[in-house]
C-alpha cells in the first residue's frame, strides 16, 4: 500500500528541508513525495531538485505560480499512491513512526474513504508543542457522514485542514474533488464536499502533524480584507448549495451551525470593514438560530438579550483579548 505525500512549495526555503526530512524518514517506506514548486522565487526550486536526486521516492513538479489550491490539485494529478496526504511546506510530521501507526488504523478500516488525525501547534521561538483538540470517542470508529457532521459541530471542532487526513485516492478521484483556486480558506468547502461524498470516515487522536504557528508571510498569518471576503463568499456559496447536499436534515442543521460559527468569526472583525460590508454581513445574522455549535449557542444568547451590536463587541473582545 503506497502513500503519496503532496507538498505544495512556495517561499518556505527556511522550513522545507525539515518538512521533507520528516516525511522521508518515516519508518513506513512505501511512500512517494510529490513536491510541487509553485513558481517559488527563492531557493525552493533548487532544494526540491536536490531532494529528488537524493531519494528516488521524490518527484518534483515545477510550475508557474497559481496559488495553494492549484498546487495541491497538480500534486494530486501526479500522485500514484493508494492513499494521499497533504502537507504544507512550513509544517512537518512529528514522529518517524507516525505513518506506520496511522496506517495500522487504515488497514483495519478499509471501508473508510478517509481517516482524520490530529495535530499539535508548534511554536518555533520556544520549540514547544501544544495539542490542538481531543476528538470525541464516538468519532474514533467508522461512522457515516451524517453522524460525523453532527458530532463534529456539537463538539465545536471542525478539522477543515486538508493536512489532517489520510484519504483514499480512489475515493477522491471518484468524487472529482478539487480545491477551489484563488481563495483563502479553501479547505472549508473542500472538507464539506469530502464529507458529503464519503460513505464512512473516522477521526483518531494520533497527534501526527506539527502545525507551525506565527510564521511571518504565511497565508494564515496574512488574513486581512481578502480573508474576510473569501470566507464570506464561502458562507454564501455553501448556503446556495445546501439543497443539493445529500446530508440528512439533522446533519444539514449542524452544517448551518458551522456556517453560523464562521459568521461569528467575521462578525468579530466587521468593525474594520466598510458600512456596506457590515450591513451585507448582518443580513445573515439569522444563522445564529442554528445553535448546535457551543460557541454559536453563546453568541446567540448574547444576541437574544442584548442585540447584535453587543454580540459583535463580545466576539471582538474575545478574539482580541482572550484568544491571544
Output the pLDDT for position 247. 98
> What does the pLDDT average to over 236-257?
98
Domain boundaries, the chain: 3-220, 223-322
Output the pLDDT for position 93. 97
Output the pLDDT for position 217. 54
Ramachandran area for residue 11 (φ above 0: left; ψ -120 to 50: alpha; else beta): left
**Fold annotation for 3-220:** Spore Coat Polysaccharide Biosynthesis Protein SpsA; Chain A (3.90.550)
pLDDT tens, residue by residue, 168-181: 999 999 999 999 99
Output the pLDDT for position 253. 98
Residue the block writes with cell 460557541? 295
**How many angstroms separate the CA atoms of 317 and 313, rounded?**
6
Decide: 189 and 238 in contact? Cβ < 8 Å. Answer: yes
Output the pLDDT for position 324. 47
User: If DSSP codes are grouped into helix, strand and coil, which group holds residue 74?
Assistant: helix
Output the pLDDT for position 320. 78
> What does the pLDDT average to over 133-141?
95
Q: How many CB atoms lie within 10 A of CB 215?
A: 17
* Phi, psi for 182 (deg, rounded to 5): 85, 5
Q: What is the DSSP letter of 319?
A: I
Radius of gyration of the chain (CA): 20
pLDDT over 90 at 318, yes or no:
no
**How many angstroms separate the CA atoms of 8 and 231, rounded?**
22
221 pLDDT band (50/70/90 cuts)? very low
223 pLDDT band (50/70/90 cuts)? low
User: If DSSP codes are grouped into helix, strand and coil, which group holds residue 301?
Assistant: helix
**How many angstroms separate the CA atoms of 266 and 142, rounded?**
33
> What does the pLDDT average to over 88-99?
97
Amino acid at each position: 500500500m503506497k502513500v503519496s505525500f503532496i507538498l505544495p512549495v512556495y517561499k518556505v526555503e527556511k522550513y522545507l528541508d525539515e518538512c521533507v526530512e520528516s516525511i522521508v524518514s518515516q519508518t513506513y517506506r512505501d511512500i512517494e513525495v510529490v513536491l510541487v514548486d509553485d513558481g517559488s522565487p527563492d531557493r525552493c526550486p533548487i532544494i526540491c531538485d536536490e531532494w529528488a536526486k537524493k531519494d528516488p521516492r521524490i518527484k518534483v513538479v515545477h510550475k508557474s505560480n497559481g496559488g495553494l489550491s492549484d498546487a495541491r490539485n497538480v500534486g494530486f494529478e501526479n500522485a500514484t499512491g493508494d492513499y494521499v496526504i497533504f502537507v504544507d511546506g512550513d509544517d512537518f510530521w512529528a514522529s518517524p513512526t507516525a505513518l506506520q501507526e496511522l496506517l495500522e488504523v487504515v488497514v483495519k478500516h478499509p471501508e473508510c474513504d478517509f481517516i482524520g488525525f490530529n495535530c499539535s501547534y508548534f511554536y518555533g521561538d520556544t520549540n514547544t508543542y501544544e495539542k490542538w483538540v481531543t476528538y470525541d470517542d464516538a468519532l474514533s470508529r467508522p461512522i457515516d457522514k451524517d453522524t460525523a457532521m453532527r458530532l463534529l459541530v456539537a463538539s465545536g471542532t471542525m478539522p477543515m485542514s486538508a493536512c489532517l487526513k489520510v484519504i483514499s485516492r480512489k475515493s477522491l478521484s471518484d468524487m472529482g474533488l478539487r480545491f477551489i483556486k484563488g481563495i483563502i480558506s479553501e479547505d472549508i468547502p473542500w472538507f464539506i464536499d469530502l464529507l458529503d461524498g464519503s460513505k464512512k470516515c473516522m477521526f483518531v487522536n494520533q497527534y501526527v502533524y506539527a502545525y507551525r504557528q506565527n510564521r511571518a508571510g504565511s497565508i494564515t498569518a496574512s488574513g486581512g480584507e481578502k480573508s474576510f471576503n473569501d470566507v464570506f463568499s464561502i458562507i454564501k456559496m455553501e448556503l446556495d448549495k445546501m439543497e443539493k447536499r445529500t446530508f440528512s436534515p439533522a446533519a444539514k442543521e449542524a452544517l448551518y451551525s458551522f456556517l453560523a460559527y464562521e459568521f461569528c468569526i467575521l462578525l468579530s472583525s466587521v468593525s474594520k470593514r466598510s458600512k456596506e460590508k457590515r450591513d451585507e454581513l448582518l443580513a445573515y445574522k439569522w444563522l445564529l438560530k442554528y445553535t448546535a455549535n457551543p460557541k454559536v449557542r453563546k453568541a446567540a444568547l448574547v444576541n437574544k438579550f442584548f442585540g447584535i451590536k453587543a454580540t459583535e463587541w463580545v466576539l471582538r473582545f474575545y478574539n482580541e483579548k482572550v484568544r491571544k
